[in-house]
Amino acid sequence: MTLLGSISTMLRQSSSALRRNVFRDSNKGYQPTATDNDIALQDLSNNRQFNQNEDFSRLRRNNKWSNDLRPHRKYYTISIIGLLLILYVTAITSLKEFTGADVPQCRSIYMYPSYARIDGFSKQFTPLAQKYHLYLYREQDKDQEPINNNHIQLNGVPILFIPGNAGSFKQVRSIASACANLYFDSKDSINNPTTQNVDFFTADFNEDFTAFHGQTMLDQAEYLNDAIAYILSLYEQSIDGKSYAVPESVIIVAHSMGGIVARVMPTLQNHVSGSVNSIITLSSPHAAAPVTFDGDILKIYKKTNDFWRNQFDNKDSFFSKNVSLISITGAVQDNVLPADYAAVQDLIPLENGFTTFTTTIPGVWTPIDHLAIVWCKQLRLVLSKLLLEMVDSTVPSKTKPLKERIDISKKFLLSGFEQFYNNDIAEKSSVVYHTGESTIGTNNFNMVPSDKPFIITKNTGFVENGKPHIIYIPKDLNAKFDFTLMTSGKKPTIKLCKNSMQIDCISLSEDILKIPRSTFTTRYPADSSLEEDNNPFTYYHLKHDQLTMYDFILLNNINNENFNDEDFVYASFNKMSETEKIDISQLHMSLYGTHKIVKSDETIIFSDLEFLQQYDALLSYTINIKSDTEKDGPLLFQPMIRQWIATPSESKWYVNIITHNNLEVNMHNVAPFIPVNISEPHSLHLNVLLPPGTSIKLEISINWLLTIKMLFIRYRLTIGSLPIFFIALVLAMQFYSFSETGKYESFSFTLSHILDKYSLVIFVGSLMLTPIANSNGIQHILYYLDPVKLNRPFILSSKNLFTNLYFLGIRNWAQAWIGLLFALMSLGFLWIISSAIKMVKYFVIRMTDAMYSSGMEQDDEFLNHKKLFDRKRMLTCILLIVAVIFYVPYQLIYIIATLIQAGTCVRIVFHKRKFNSIRNREYSNLENYNISLLILFLIVAIINIPVIIVFIHNLGINYETTFRSHHNFIAVAPTILLVSTNSTFNMPTFPKKSFDWFIAISLLGYLSFFSVIYGTRNLYFIHDIVNIACGWLFYGSVTDYMRRK
């Protein structure tokens, strides 16, 4: 309400300024009169005197002493700054390339796909069979033929692939091919005795635009529910289907918006209960809708999220006990969808799923773009192994129990360093050796001193393979120590043993982690990814409290027979390291940066640096590495850094950091519009892994270029909201001034005067809105005032999860400068549109001059006999409304109305130039009013175009049924009627300070308020407010016409 009051005060004071500027030093003989705001320009009988006044004003402008020049100069200055910022941000976004760990390193793949269309899935089974189709994937020379003697043969585990927005069903081929190759060619590498080959099904959605249209999302979910029921029935009919347990559920692998469709499916009535218990999504926006052009999408998100949360809140539900959801995102390289949106921590408990990044996944270690995530070689190898490890052919669900699936998923998809990673050695089963049963009980082993590091390299001397190494655990009660094992290649075996009456050992070999190789020859973490020539390093760490209950560590499978110069084995007890907390404010980091020196003695160290106040995902950093190492000879390996945050599980590795010493750091932590658990730490961590005898200096500062580049992906929707704040403000100011002066000023003139008087207020407000909108109390007020209420910042407050859904969604006041940046860019964007319209106006004038002699002094009979409607316009309005009701979406009619409005502007300029008479002032009012309205319509058209794309796409695929949504004619009828009356050169007027006048100003003021506070996350509702405002302006045109009659 305070913002609305400020807007009202701004309008009132700016109007006074406009009046002073409009009539300052004007000819005293000209006094415009108005009765009920009907301007009696006919009283200006002395046309020569009027033209003299115009010439006099023009002379004053040329002499540059008029005060009117000052606001124009300020407006152009601000606009040029905004334009330069647009060019600067666009150039950075387009030209600034990622470096180091952010460079994609996906490898090429080959496959031999074939697709069998399942024509039996017809209208008998789904009403959408005419629009969509179901396919079965078969890898040639691997999978069996789908049909044998006219009988379908299926004997695998059913998996359904769901493509994303504008995705093709053929995207299934990469993962499906990898599964077939792994199962049929390398089955022995699968550590799952109940594994089985898989049958990949996929849906052909004709590359539907799911992200733009809520009804399309519902159609796909409905179709897939029917498809799953049909698929399961096929296994009952299959000639081979009963060699195993007949499937009762289907695993889902989904890409992009397909992951949201997968979550929508259980909410529909045709869902078969228990038919889905495992979902893996690739770059799917679970946390927030990627675009907000269609209100139906926000409503579906709300309903779906509520359903899932309620299911998991009930610990006895099928979901809580059976359903897993794993969300994988491609990190910084996903330039279609912000990786922040893939988070699921606000939807499901950790026992049922998690979010991970491709930079985190062992053996992948690379960011992946939005499309490549379905075919990237390293990731598809991991996913195929994961799928075949989690299936269970012996049970109808065809998957292992929930806890086993989650544990397997963590093993394949997490780095292993996560705080919640299950590494409890107390749960491991032990093996008991009696004397004489094992080499442990004899002298056939190598005793390794525990007081110094155990290091094996090529130059150590031959180490016999098969002879175990025993390292006794120190029993110094006053010292706390950890144990570190690290190798450059082949994974050793490690056991933790007790030596009492009998030897009791537990095997830890399965817990040994893979980390990227870091040597002089490596540049990217993915250089040692899956199926690369370079082996990754292996790493294992035992904490002090894990060691105290045991007597010695047994290492085996170690030899240096085939070592090269870079290979090594390292094992040592180290002094227990503590996390070093670095508390530096964002302001200090922005101005001065910071530095940190990390050293290692004769042991490997894995130092953890926690930057307590560096948690904002909107900021990126540069780390410059300087080596202070004085050690003679080569290092055991090259230093490396692991960047990580706790939630979601994002890790990123930087290798060979002394050679490649300029690191760019960005993260997906506390992000705009994403739920944040305020009870959990969100600090940026840097794990510095150094070989013995190394010292490096880290110089950390803000990377402003990368920060600006990353703004685009998160704030693309802002182009449809913030400019409307200024447009609505200008329209309100124009009507306010028009009611007092009888003159409707131009868009540029009005905006220049607003900026002249209130630029400081606007720009300071754009800075202050960030901390204000992030205030808990203010958010409660804003939610109460929200007419939509589809975005609920406090719905998860009982779980300490909060979301800032207002203004730009920023949670850190230090990033308030982003609001000012977008305010300036919005003004630059409006200057571009205004200048483009002026260019069109110039060409119309030139064409008119070429067609008619200029200066024609005659009256315009069109204005004397104008009507509110004529038969042609009335019929056109009726036809457009009927088209909305029965066939086309109202968004298409809105675009047609915008084109008609543009044509009206051209006609007005044409008439004004053709009839250069005393009517010019009235034509100027009409011209300025219609052009301002056109600018508003053009911005709102951006919001409506995506739904039109979906409609045209449906027509393109010859889908014969009508568009199934957006047929509410009320959503566009007021706009149609207003544009029709505008085309007859009518103009709305409201008596000053009347109730009608107050409603008009309030509607435009509220449009301005809504667009800046709620607009980015509710773009579709801006259209609704504009439509209501059009209805009231139409009412103003009607009442004005009635008064004149």
Q: Which helix (H) or strand (E) holds 921?
A: helix 920-956
Residue 517 tokens read as: 């190789």
pLDDT of residue 239: 58
Question: Is pLDDT of 830 > 80?
Answer: yes
Higher local confidence (pLDDT), 948 or 491: 948
Q: Nearest CA to 283 among 199, 347, 367?
A: 367
Active site residues: 256
Across residues 330-344, what is the average pLDDT? 93
Task: Count the neighbouring beta carbons within 10 Å of the beta carbon of residue 864.
Answer: 9
Higher local confidence (pLDDT), 49 or 209: 209
Question: Is pLDDT of 918 > 60?
Answer: no
Question: Is pLDDT of 421 > 70?
Answer: no
Across residues 1004-1023, what is the average pLDDT? 96
User: What is the distance between the alpha carbons of residues 440 and 507, in angstroms, rounded to a whole number?
Assistant: 14
Q: Tell me which of 657-671, 832-846, 862-876, 984-998 is least confident.
A: 862-876
Which band of pLDDT confidence, cut at 50, 70 and 90, is reported for residue 548? confident
Q: Which pLDDT tens digit goes with each residue over 765-778?
A: 999 999 999 998 99
Question: Is pLDDT of 16 > 90?
Answer: no
pLDDT of residue 863: 60
Topology match between the domains 113-413 and 585-707? no
pLDDT of residue 339: 94
Q: Which pLDDT tens digit goes with each residue over 248-306?
A: 999 999 999 999 999 999 999 999 999 999 999 999 999 999 999 999 999 999 999 99
pLDDT of residue 833: 95
Across residues 321-345, what is the average pLDDT? 95
Q: Contact at 8 Å (CB) between 909 and 175?
A: no
Question: Is pLDDT of 915 > 60?
Answer: yes
Q: Name 556's Cβ contacts closer than 8 Å, sequence gap at least 6.
A: 466, 467, 468, 469, 492, 493, 494, 495
pLDDT of residue 7: 54
Q: Which pLDDT tens digit goes with each residue over 70-100?
A: 667 888 999 999 999 999 999 999 999 999 9
Across residues 999-1003, what is the average pLDDT? 95
Q: Name 988's Cβ contacts closer than 8 Å, sequence gap at least 6.
A: 1000, 1033, 1034, 1035, 1036, 1037, 1040
Question: Is pLDDT of 67 > 70?
Answer: no
CATH number, domain 113-413, options 3.40.50.1820, 3.40.47.10, 3.30.1130.10, 3.30.1360.120: 3.40.50.1820
Q: What is the mean pLDDT of the chain?
A: 87
Higher local confidence (pLDDT), 333 or 577: 333
pLDDT of residue 44: 36
Q: Tell me which of 8-12, 296-300, 485-489, 854-858 is least confident.
A: 854-858
Which band of pLDDT confidence, cut at 50, 70 and 90, is reported for residue 969? very high
Which band of pLDDT confidence, cut at 50, 70 and 90, is reported for residue 29? very low
User: What is the distance between the alpha carbons of residues 160 and 152, in angstroms, rounded to a whole number?
Assistant: 17
Q: Contact at 8 Å (CB) between 863 and 922?
A: yes
Question: Is pLDDT of 507 > 80?
Answer: yes
What does pTM read for this prediction? 0.90
Q: Is 142 buried (19+), middle (13-18) or exposed (0-12) by CB count in 10 A?
A: middle
Fold of 585-707: Jelly Rolls (2.60.120)
Residue 869 tokens read as: 């409607």
Question: Is pLDDT of 152 > 80?
Answer: no
Across residues 575-593, what is the average pLDDT? 90
Buried residues in 63-81 as b, exposed as e (16+ CB within 10 A): eeebebeebbebbeebbee
pLDDT of residue 68: 53
Task: Count the neighbouring beta carbons within 10 Å of the beta carbon of residue 850.
Answer: 8
Which band of pLDDT confidence, cut at 50, 70 and 90, is reported for residue 958? low
pLDDT of residue 34: 36
Residue-range domain boundaries for the chain: 2-91+715-1044, 113-413, 425-575, 585-707
Q: Which pLDDT tens digit goes with each residue over 683-709?
A: 999 999 999 999 999 999 999 999 999
